[in-house]
Amino acid sequence: MESVPGKAGRIWVVLGTDVPLADVFISLEEGHPIEEVTEGFGLTREQMKAVLQFAAEGFVLPASTR
């Protein structure tokens, strides 16, 4: 995941894409199957695994970006 400047501050996106992380989480929260969300956003299995790992661990900003 990476944070990039956006119109409303910094937006977290899936690394290497323009897919907002929040949109992925919303789709999952709405009950869409992981495979459907992965395909719908054009993500690879590895990217989706990284999204889920990011969510499971919680994110902590490095000290240099706080």
Distance of CA 55 to CAs 7, 14, 19, Å?
24, 12, 15
Q: What is the CA radius of gyration of the chain?
A: 12
In single-letter form, the type of residue at position 28 comes to: L
User: What pLDDT score does 62 carry?
Assistant: 56
Locate the domains of the chain by residue range: 2-56
User: What pLDDT score does 33 carry?
Assistant: 97
Question: Which two three-digit tokens encode residue 6?
Answer: 């956006």
- List per-residue pLDDT tens for the chain, 66 residues long: 777 666 556 788 898 898 999 999 999 999 999 999 999 999 999 999 999 998 888 766 555 444
User: What pLDDT score does 4 carry?
Assistant: 67
Rounded Cα distance between 34 and 38, Å, is: 6
User: What pLDDT score does 66 carry?
Assistant: 44
Rounded Cα distance between 29 and 14, Å, is: 17
- How many CA atoms are closer than 13 Å to the CA of 15, on its beta-carbon side? 9
